[in-house]
Amino acid sequence: MLNILYSLLFYLVSPFFIYALYKKKKGKPTIGRRWKEHFGYPPKLKSTQNPIWIHAVSVGEVIAVSPFIKQFKQKYPTQSIVLTTTTSTGAAQAEKLGPLIEHRYMPLDFSFAIKRFIKIISPQQLIIMETELWPNTLAITAKHNIPITILNARLSERSFLRYQKIKGIFDLLAKNIDLILCQTNEDATRFISLGIKEKNIQITGSIKYDINIENVDIIKAKNLKKQIEDRPVWIACSTHSGEDEILLNAHKNLLNKIPNALLILVPRHPERFSNVLSLIQSLKLKSLARSSQSPLTKDVEVYLADTMGEMMALISVANVCFMGGSLLGDKVGGHNLLEPAYLGKPILNGPSFYNFKEIATQLINIKACTICHNQNDIFQNLNTLLRSETLQKKQGSAAQQMVEKNKGAISKSIHYLERFISL
């Protein structure tokens, strides 16, 4: 009965979901003629082998699962992989994996679309990155005797309490999942409290710790560093609407103390690029958009990163990193702090980080991450850090050591997934 009610509800709300998915926005890649894939019409794969189907909803999940895919292909070079994303920005990020995968759009959670997708693709197993769980997808996949694994699974206290209130819906999801690879003991305990059998849960740690910088990013960083020379630089990553004003005003204050300071501003969503550029200009700050490919001259005060997939290169050239999505109360819940930590950068973060609570807490405890509640906090901490190379190295080194200590989740995950692999 719950399944029928859910399907009826999904049909009712799907027009709004589809509208948001296909709505054209400046800077956002278009889905174009590939829209049919969302309704279960994927092109046939080049490989005739039953692929492993990995689903990563959008950009963040694709970036996170990419090291897993690379390591998996090193061990199983002949095994084909189809990577699905829901969004066009996720698809653009997936293309960077080149021949390691074939990309298809994830069918929407209509029964007919899922059935047709499975018939055409014929996957041997489904691996879902984190917790992108759709009832019809799980139920139909399970009916086809395709094992389902949740990779890098996390369940925050907040989500746990929500699922407790709708236990029937969670049971509808959970009964079709064969394996949950959890990031932490706390995640595993919450899943077990919701009724998942212990035998179906393993603790692997977070695959996000298994991070590396690509050669292409190293080259980009070197080229950008030549233009910046020895200026003090801070980067604000993955910012959301409502945060840019705070960060830009903090930078204006900083320029009064350190006139040659440079801010690299990286908005989270590409459709916001033009609005953020207008905001920078309205604040009378000398700006340059990275997409312009113009030289970064000494008079530029804000460098707007209006390009995709260059975060590692941009963080590499900064002395300090502020992570966005953390100044808006409970609206976003923060973003992944591991990229700046891996690169040995002191980290500033807003007070909201429930999406990455364990990672943030570890970094705070070792004094590699400082919580800033407002514009003045950001300014004061930047002013202190950018004046002290010793303090930068101390905090950055602590962050790097934390990342190294927690590596190994990908190897553990592949080990547990091997029982489902049919070469």
Q: How far is CA 328 from each of CA 244, 304, 370, rounded to the nearest angstrom?
A: 11, 21, 17
Distance of CA 46 to the CA centre of its chain: 28
Nearest to 89 by CA among 59, 132, 61, 60: 59
The model's pLDDT over 278-296, given as tens digits with 9 standing for 90+, comes to: 999 999 999 999 999 999 9
Mean pLDDT along residues 201-206 = 95
Query: pTM of this prediction?
Result: 0.79
More confident residue, 363 or 211: 363
| Tokens 């059998």, located at residue | 197
Q: Residue 150 and residue 194: Cα distance in Å, rounded? A: 16
- Which residues are known to be catalytic? 61
Nearest to 139 by CA among 118, 161, 162: 118
Distance of CA 297 to the CA centre of its chain: 31
Nearest to 135 by CA among 219, 10, 230, 300: 10
All domains of the chain, ordered by start, with CATH?
20-210+407-420 (3.40.50.11720), 215-405 (3.40.50.2000)
pLDDT, averaged across the chain: 93
The model's pLDDT over 8-55, given as tens digits with 9 standing for 90+, comes to: 888 888 888 888 888 887 777 888 899 999 999 999 998 878 999 999
Backbone conformation region of residue 369, classed left if phi is above 0, alpha if psi is from -120 to 50, else beta = beta
Bridge partners (DSSP) of residue 298 are none
DSSP run (H or E) holding 182: strand 179-182
DSSP-based three-state secondary structure for 308: coil
Is the pLDDT confidence value at 358 over 80?
yes
Contact 348, 320 (CB under 8 A): yes
Is the pLDDT confidence value at 331 over 80?
yes
Q: What is the 3-state secondary structure (H, E, C) of 353-388?
A: CHHHHHHHHHHHHCCCEEECCCHHHHHHHHHHHHCC
State the pLDDT confidence band at 72, using cuts at 50, 70 and 90: very high
Q: Residue 168 and residue 165: Cα distance in Å, rounded? A: 9
The model's pLDDT over 237-248, given as tens digits with 9 standing for 90+, comes to: 999 999 999 999
